[in-house]
């Protein structure tokens, strides 16, 4: 029995090529940023996002019509898309920017994603082909800004559920049950589609791309676009003044008893 | 200029005919790029992705079990299952036979990455792919391929049984006999030093059907464990202890005629040709071993301080480390170039012998240095550095001893120069 019109899910997973988590970060000599001549890979939270999309398909089967991966970056970023395809995404979109261009800011990223979604949904022949779930990483490990998902939800006027550690989709009711990681523990939310979700660490453990899937990924389509095609301006709104390493840790001192500790604290002006 | 064009495009056509991935990235490359010869460290996108995937699998799944498997001299079944799940047991096999249809270099990459973490796991994957799978792919009939390759890609471990008590380097002096009995063959004899044999379910056994013909009677038989293959003894070894090495006994082992691979009397040809390729696999294993030992020990030398500085920054140490890095790079280039030559359909026997010989020498040298650089910490079993040195010794012995490799290379030189 074919699921009826409103009961299909189209997932968009934005991914970012970031400095690999295992690399020892060093500030560049000009102190304008970090040394990027190091190993890069898909942002770990984005891997979790791709994994969640693939797991949703495994659970909901034919209800998940499409899983599209998208990235903004120079030519090298295509590697990240291929990884997403190897993990189980159906197709990918590459918004290509020149190698020398600065990394786009979160608002520009969010505007781009909105443009892509609106463009796609406008062209969609049927209601059921529209993108209705976006899963992003909560933050990228290079700038740790953690705002893109929220901005996107705001621009689209969609619901948002950030820092998700559990996700359950009821396609029939067009509802999503999310558990969010908050300081006090877990917050349970019931949201309505369309929805923007950002992933937290405990949502899942991403799979290894198996060799047959890596080979199959070769045949999956990657659409190429530019920011100009979407009418988005990438002019940076922020200027980085200086990037420096944190001061080296200086050794502490030992105190003999509580009185001495209190005295030292008073001396330090606390 | 036009002849270069013609040979370059011919090379590209040959490569695509072989179904192997091109030496250039799978994204559209301009004709100019296609004509320019690439450096030896050029890999396709898929090969690079495979390297990343195997590296992660090796680090996350294999690494935690390495010490335990070595101490217990036993391969954890979950590791073997993991290799099957990752699609690493049918790397070159066609997709319609359940494989990944990747290049030979992809297999070499997988073997190298596994060896960086555990040479025992690496050799299991190597023998299964470059010996067992390849014999079937190259010499099997369509029926045999359709029957066996999917099983080998999905769940059944394979083993290659050539050596015996009195035949190692002199492989064709083997004594295992096969006698015709209706539509079956009855095998009697025993094999020694057989890798994977403890866990394997599929065995390629070389037996002589007609000793009066000498080596031309040697035939390759495919047998399954349940036909009655007996494990007489599991060896206790110096290194690659988790890899099972057993003596097998065949006591009136009945094998159907359909299970002859490549035809009667073709066994010697199969063995020679397949071991040529397998040689590159062992080179990759030894290369990964050397790199793994290097990668474990060198960071320690930049942390360990004596006399007020990290020991790796003393010039004496720095020079040793640099020399080890040169050795590894040279072994790497020999190995990957031999792999590409084979992919291109060019002669590669001499280069494969050189790669295997040199990689095993480098493995011994570098792993030995790695222990010394780490000092006492290198000598105790906890960090796993000493394991690489123990594992490296077999490199000079199996799949063609170092002396045999030198012999092979010398023959080529004599032919060229006299």
Question: For the stretch A242-251, what's the b/e string if a residue is b when 16 or more beta carbons lie within 10 angstroms of its beta carbon?
Answer: eeeeeeeeee
| Percent above pLDDT 70 for chain B | 92
Over chain B, what is the mean pLDDT?
92
Predicted confidence (pLDDT) per residue in A165-184, tens digit = 999 999 888 899 999 999 98
Q: Could you say which of B52, B60, B102 has the minimum Cβ distance to residue A215?
A: B102
Separation of alpha carbons B396 and B240, rounded Å: 13
Asked if the model's pLDDT at residue A2 lies above 80, the reply is no
Helices (H), B118-184: 119-126, 134-139, 142-154
Predicted confidence (pLDDT) per residue in A95-104, tens digit = 999 988 888 9
Q: Is A208 on the interface with B (CB under 8 A)?
A: yes
CB contact under 8 A, A79 and B49: yes
The phi and psi torsions of B241 (rounded to 5 degrees) equal -65, -30
What pLDDT is recorded for position B7?
Answer: 44
The phi and psi torsions of A168 (rounded to 5 degrees) equal -135, 125
What pLDDT is recorded for position A211?
Answer: 87
Asked if the model's pLDDT at residue A7 lies above 70, the reply is no
Asked if the model's pLDDT at residue A203 lies above 70, the reply is yes
Total Cβ atoms within 10 A of residue B53:
24
Separation of alpha carbons A103 and A94, rounded Å: 14
Q: Is A83 on the interface with B (CB under 8 A)?
A: yes
Joined tokens for residue B201? 């379910």
Which positions ≥6 away from A117 have C-beta within 8 Å? A12, A131, A134, A156
What pLDDT is recorded for position B33?
Answer: 57
Asked if the model's pLDDT at residue B19 lies above 50, the reply is no
The phi and psi torsions of A12 (rounded to 5 degrees) equal -115, 130
B168: number of CA atoms within 13 Å, CB side? Answer: 12
Q: How do B218-224 and B184-195 pair as beta strands? A: unpaired
What pLDDT is recorded for position A253?
Answer: 77
Residue B62 to chain A, least CA–CA distance (Å): 13
Helices (H), B65-141: 66-72, 77-85, 104-117, 119-126, 134-139
Question: For the stretch B361-388, what's the b/e string if a residue is b when 16 or more beta carbons lie within 10 angstroms of its beta carbon?
Answer: bbbbbbbbbbbebbeeebeeeebbbbbb
Indicate yes or no: pTM above 0.90: no
Residue B384: closest CA among B264, B265, B241, B263: B241
Work out the average pLDDT over B398-407: 96
Which site among B49, B84, B104 would you substitute to test the A interface, given the most A Cβ atoms closer than 10 Å to its Cβ?
Answer: B49
Residue B280: closest CA among B399, B103, B163, B133: B399
Q: Is A133 on the interface with B (CB under 8 A)?
A: no
Asked if the model's pLDDT at residue B405 lies above 60, the reply is yes
Q: Is A150 on the interface with B (CB under 8 A)?
A: no
What pLDDT is recorded for position A212?
Answer: 86
What pLDDT is recorded for position B21?
Answer: 39
Q: Could you say which of A78, A208, A214 has the minimum Cβ distance to residue B46?
A: A214
What pLDDT is recorded for position A269?
Answer: 81
Among A120-129, A213-222, B292-301, the minimum mean pLDDT is found in A120-129
CB contact under 8 A, B85 and A210: yes
Which site among A85, A214, A221 would you substitute to test the B interface, given the most B Cβ atoms closer than 10 Å to its Cβ?
Answer: A214
Asked if the model's pLDDT at residue B246 lies above 80, the reply is yes
Query: Which CA distances in Å does B132 have to A39, A119, B76, B162, B396?
Result: 36, 52, 21, 12, 22
Separation of alpha carbons A75 and B47, rounded Å: 18
Separation of alpha carbons A54 and A33, rounded Å: 35
Q: How confident is the model at residue A6 (pLDDT cuts 50, 70, 90)?
A: low
Please tell me which residue in B47, B164, B351, B399 is annotated as part of the active site.
Answer: B399
What pLDDT is recorded for position B281?
Answer: 97
Asked if the model's pLDDT at residue A25 lies above 90, the reply is no
Which site among B24, B30, B53 would you substitute to test the A interface, given the most A Cβ atoms closer than 10 Å to its Cβ?
Answer: B53
Residue B205: closest CA among B235, B167, B244, B250: B250
Residue A234 to chain B, least CA–CA distance (Å): 26
Answer yes or no: are the C-beta atoms of B90 and B135 closer than 8 Å: no
Which positions ≥6 away from B353 have C-beta within 8 Å? B279, B400, B405, B408, B409
Long-range contacts of A117-120 (CB under 8 A, 24+ apart): A117/A12, A117/A156, A119/A230
What pLDDT is recorded for position A143?
Answer: 87
Q: Which residue has the higher pLDDT, B133 or B23?
A: B133
**What letter would DSSP give residue B73?**
T
Query: Which CA distances in Å does B115 have to B193, B200, B304, B324?
Result: 20, 20, 26, 17
| E strands in B209-314 | 218-224, 230-234, 245-256, 260-261, 305-306, 309-310
Separation of alpha carbons B151 and B158, rounded Å: 10
Using CB atoms within 10 A of its CB, is residue A70 exposed (0-12), middle (13-18) or buried (19+)? buried
Asked if the model's pLDDT at residue B146 lies above 70, the reply is yes
Sheet arrangement for strand A91-96: A185-192, A175-182, A159-170, A195-199, A133-137, A9-14, A64-73, A91-96, A222-225
Query: Which CA distances in Å does A10 have to A117, A132, A198, B292, B398?
Result: 11, 6, 16, 43, 54
Q: Is A41 on the interface with B (CB under 8 A)?
A: yes
Asked if the model's pLDDT at residue B32 lies above 70, the reply is no
What pLDDT is recorded for position A126?
Answer: 81
**What letter would DSSP give residue B149?**
H
CB contact under 8 A, B49 and A208: no
Cis peptide leading into A194, omega within 30 of 0?
A: yes
What pLDDT is recorded for position B17?
Answer: 40
């Amino acid at each position: 029995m074919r699921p009826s019109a409103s009961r299909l899910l189209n997932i968009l997973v934005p991914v970012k090529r970031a400095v690999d988590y295992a690399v020892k970060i060093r500030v560049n000599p000009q102190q304008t940023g970090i040394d990027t001549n190091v190993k890069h890979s898909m942002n770990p939270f984005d891997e979790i996002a791709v994994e969640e999309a693939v797991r949703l398909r495994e659970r909901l089967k034919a209800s998940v019509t499409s899983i599209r991966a998208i990235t903004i970056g120079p030519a090298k970023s295509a590697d990240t898309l291929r990884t997403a395809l190897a993990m189980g995404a159906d197709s990918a979109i590459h918004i290509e920017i020149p190698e020398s261009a600065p990394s786009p800011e979160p608002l520009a990223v969010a505007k781009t994603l909105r443009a892509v979604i609106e463009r796609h949904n406008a062209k969609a022949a049927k209601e059921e082909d529209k993108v209705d779930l976006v899963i992003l990483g909560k933050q990228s490990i290079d700038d740790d800004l953690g705002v893109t998902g929220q901005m996107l939800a705001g621009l689209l006027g969609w619901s948002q559920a950030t820092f998700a550690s559990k996700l359950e989709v009821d396609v029939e009711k067009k509802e999503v049950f999310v558990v969010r990681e908050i300081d006090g523990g877990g917050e349970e939310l019931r949201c309505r589609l369309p929805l923007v979700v950002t992933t937290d660490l405990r949502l899942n453990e991403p799979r290894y791309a198996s060799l047959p899937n890596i080979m199959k990924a070769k045949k999956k389509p990657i659409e190429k676009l530019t920011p100009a095609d979407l009418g988005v301006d990438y002019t940076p709104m922020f200027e980085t003044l200086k990037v420096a390493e944190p001061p080296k840790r200086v050794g502490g001192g030992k105190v003999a008893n509580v009185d001495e500790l209190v005295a030292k604290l008073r001396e330090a002006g606390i | 200029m036009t002849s270069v064009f013609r040979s370059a495009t011919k090379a590209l056509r040959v490569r695509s005919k072989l179904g192997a991935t091109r030496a250039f990235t799978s994204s559209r490359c301009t004709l100019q790029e296609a004509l320019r010869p690439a450096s030896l460290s050029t890999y396709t996108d898929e090969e690079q992705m495979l390297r990343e995937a195997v590296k992660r699998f090796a680090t996350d799944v294999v690494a935690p079990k390495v010490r335990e498997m070595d101490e217990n001299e036993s391969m954890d079944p979950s590791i073997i299952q993991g290799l099957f799940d990752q699609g690493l047991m049918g790397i070159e096999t066609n997709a319609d036979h359940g494989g990944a249809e990747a290049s030979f270099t992809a297999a070499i990459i997988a073997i190298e990455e596994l060896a960086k973490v555990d040479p025992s796991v690496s050799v299991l994957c190597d023998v299964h792919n470059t010996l067992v799978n390849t014999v079937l792919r190259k010499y099997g009939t369509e029926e045999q391929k359709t029957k066996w390759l999917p099983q080998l890609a999905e769940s059944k471990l394979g083993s290659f049984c050539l050596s015996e008590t009195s035949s190692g380097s002199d492989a064709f002096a083997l004594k295992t006999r096969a006698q015709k009995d209706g539509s079956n063959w009855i095998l009697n004899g025993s094999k020694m030093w057989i890798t994977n044999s403890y866990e394997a379910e599929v065995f390629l056994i070389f037996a002589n059907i007609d000793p009066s013909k000498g080596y031309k009677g040697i035939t390759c038989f495919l047998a399954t464990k349940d036909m009655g293959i007996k494990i007489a003894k599991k060896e206790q070894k110096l290194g690659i202890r988790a890899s099972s090495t057993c003596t097998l006994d065949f006591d009136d082992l009945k094998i159907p005629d359909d299970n002859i691979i490549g035809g009667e009397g073709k066994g010697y040809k199969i063995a020679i040709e397949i071991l040529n390729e397998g040689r590159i696999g062992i080179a990759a294993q030894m290369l990964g071993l050397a790199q793994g030992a290097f990668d474990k020990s060198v960071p320690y030398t930049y942390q360990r301080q004596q006399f007020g500085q990290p020991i790796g920054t003393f010039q004496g140490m720095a020079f040793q480390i640099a020399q080890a890095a040169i050795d590894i790079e040279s072994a790497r280039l020999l190995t990957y170039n031999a792999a590409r030559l084979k992919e291109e359909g060019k002669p590669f026997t001499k280069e494969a012998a050189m790669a295997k010989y040199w990689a095993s020498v480098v493995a011994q040298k570098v792993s030995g240095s790695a222990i010394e650089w780490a000092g006492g910490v290198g000598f105790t079993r906890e960090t796993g550095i000493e394991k690489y040195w123990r594992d490296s010794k077999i490199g000079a012995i199996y799949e063609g001893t170092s002396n045999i490799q030198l012999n092979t290379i010398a023959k080529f030189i004599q032919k060229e120069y006299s």
